[in-house]
Amino acid sequence: MVPKGETLFEAGEYRVRRVSEEDVQLIHGLGERCLEHLELHYGSPPDPGQMIRELLSDLPPGKALGDKFGMGVFDRAGRLVGGIDVIRDCPEPREWYLGLLVLDPDHRNQGLGAKLLAALTQWLRRQDAAYLRLAVSEHNAAGQRFWTRSGFQPVKQVLAEFGNKKSVFHVMRRALETR
């Protein structure tokens, strides 16, 4: 099965394209395979449908759907193995916000996250982005290590509530100029 839609960028053998309502079943399946990610952020019981909302419709105040790029990461066989969500000009012009980068457990710890981040960075530069910002939960030690290793610097900490869980999030930022 070949994924529908235009490929935005590639990372090795993986293709990344925008997802839509037509992909709801695929996204729900990814959410079911990534329940620990959902539980980490939202508490229990996790809702696989939350992944659908994150990729297709969740927006910060003042942003429109045209600013949102919910993307699916597809392997050679066309299977959805990851999700990426970025929002343009958030919170500032030319600064994009990475709301989600999640991978199917079978595709983690193999360097795919770093490859996707590098390919995403190149794509963002083509969109005239200057910075990428994200927030990582205090409960996500592996994520904190990954983002720090990837050159993101702490900006501030915020207390946020998602689902039935309050957590401290470390807001991090990285310039996207050519290294």
* pLDDT tens per residue across span 150-174: 999 999 999 987 766 788 999 999 9
Range of the domain at 85: 7-130
In a domain, 172, yes or no: no
In a domain, 149, yes or no: no
CATH classification at residue 63? 3.40.630.30
Half-sphere exposure of 173 (CA within 13 A, CB side): 13
CA pair distance 14, 143, nearest whole angstrom:
21
In a domain, 159, yes or no: no
In a domain, 84, yes or no: yes
- Cα dihedral 110, 126, 101, 60, rounded to 10, equals 170
75 pLDDT band (50/70/90 cuts)? very high
Count of domains forming the chain: 1
**What residue type is assigned to position 59 of the chain?**
L
In a domain, 157, yes or no: no
* pLDDT tens per residue across span 62-74: 999 999 999 999 9
